[in-house]
């Protein structure tokens, strides 16, 4: 009699990042039997962007066809085989377990640091930068920007991309980090170089795009607001790329196209 003892279940993982809880969709890991003496571990990606999946295995009486620990990239709305496992002795029990970590994006791609982004607000006005890169208030160790903007100001895509995640159902805000989960936002994926842009503190029901929608540079995607961890109406903007070492999305500094020329934006200045 053949005795086979193994783990046979679906594990659902929530994606999180250092900048916000972008977790609209989930990554599914499935163990799929392909023969009497073998099975595959497959990752299914529901996101409209690639996801890098790091893995490690512990097992006995099994052999994997993939080196581990390792990492593979699941394409947008696709799947990737992490490994195939073959049972050495089909008359003995086998034991199998795995550990999975994941990050939005493809860690093999690097953001184009020479690219100059469009401003996220209409150039008909001059927008004060109330907090810049590495700001002393809430931007410590963050390459992020805060633009003072009245509630209801059109928020524009700084580069063409695809909508990966949104939140638009919150009315709440407060001046401390306990309110961070209540911030409305849009997250765009920029396929050209694998970077992401996040637009935060948006107005209640102020998001005008849907997950999976492609947008052009300068297209309106939302209305600014005052939700989440916020001391007043403003737009928080962050540029991100996946990081292989930390397994997280990390902040990156970027330049912008302004009427004063291409430049890095600085705290205290009014930008148009």
pLDDT digits (tens, 9 = 90+) for 104-147: 999 999 999 899 999 999 999 999 998 877 556 766 677 889 99
Among 82, 108, 85, which residue's Cα sits nearest to residue 36? Answer: 85
At residue 234, the 3 state secondary structure works out as: strand
Residue at token pair 């990492």: 71
CB atoms within 10 A of CB 3: 9
- The domain containing residue 66 runs over which residues? 11-104
Q: Which of 109-113, 160-164, 223-227 has the lowest mean pLDDT?
A: 109-113
Q: Max Cα separation, the chain?
A: 78
79 falls within a domain? yes
2 falls within a domain? no
Give percent of the chain above pLDDT 90.
Answer: 68
Beta strands 144-148 and 195-207, pairing class:
unpaired
- Write the CATH number for 31: 2.60.40
Are 153 and 200 in a shared domain? Answer: yes
At residue 196, the 3 state secondary structure works out as: strand
Structure tokens at 205: 């029901």
> Chain-wide mean pLDDT for the chain?
87
Are 23 and 96 in a shared domain? Answer: yes
255 falls within a domain? yes
Going by pLDDT thresholds of 50, 70 and 90, the confidence category of residue 249 is: confident
Q: CA geometry: angle at 195 spanning 193 and 197, to 5°?
A: 140
Greater confidence, 220 or 3? Answer: 220
Q: Is the pLDDT of residue 6 over 50?
A: no
- Per 3-state DSSP, the chain is made up of helix, strand and coil in percentages (nearest 5) of 0, 50, 45
Segment 40-64 shows an average pLDDT of 95
127 falls within a domain? yes
Q: Is the pLDDT of residue 251 over 70?
A: yes
Q: Is the pLDDT of residue 2 over 70?
A: no
Segment 32-60 shows an average pLDDT of 93
Residue at token pair 């524009």: 156
- Write the CATH number for 185: 2.70.70.10
Residues in a beta bridge with 52: 73, 103
Among 205, 211, 154, which residue's Cα sits nearest to residue 184? Answer: 205
């Amino acid at each position: 009699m053949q005795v086979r003892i193994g783990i046979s279940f679906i594990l659902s993982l929530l994606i999180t990042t250092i900048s916000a809880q972008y977790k609209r969709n989930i990554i599914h890991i499935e163990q799929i039997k392909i023969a009497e003496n073998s099975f595959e571990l497959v990752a299914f990606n529901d996101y409209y962007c690639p996801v890098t999946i790091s893995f490690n295995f512990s097992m006995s009486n099994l052999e994997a066809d993939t080196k581990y620990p390792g990492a593979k990239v699941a394409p947008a709305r696709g799947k990737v085989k992490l490994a195939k496992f073959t049972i050495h002795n089909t008359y003995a029990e086998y034991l199998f377990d795995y550990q999975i970590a994941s990050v939005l994006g493809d860690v093999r791609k690097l953001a184009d640091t020479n690219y100059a982004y469009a401003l996220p607000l209409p150039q008909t006005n001059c927008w004060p930068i109330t907090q810049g890169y590495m700001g002393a208030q809430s931007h410590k160790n963050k390459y992020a920007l805060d633009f003072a903007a009245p509630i209801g100001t059109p928020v524009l895509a700084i580069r063409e991309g695809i909508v990966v995640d949104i939140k638009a159902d919150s009315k709440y805000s407060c001046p401390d980090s306990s309110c961070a989960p209540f911030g409305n936002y849009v997250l765009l994926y920029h396929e050209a170089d694998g970077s992401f842009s996040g637009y935060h503190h948006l107005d209640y029901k102020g998001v005008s795009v849907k997950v999976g929608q492609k947008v052009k540079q300068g297209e309106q995607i939302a209305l600014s607001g005052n939700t989440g961890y916020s001391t007043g109406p403003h737009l928080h903007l962050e540029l991100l790329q996946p990081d292989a070492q930390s397994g997280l999305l990390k902040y990156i500094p970027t330049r912008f196209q302004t009427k004063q020329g291409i430049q890095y934006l600085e705290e205290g200045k009014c930008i148009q």
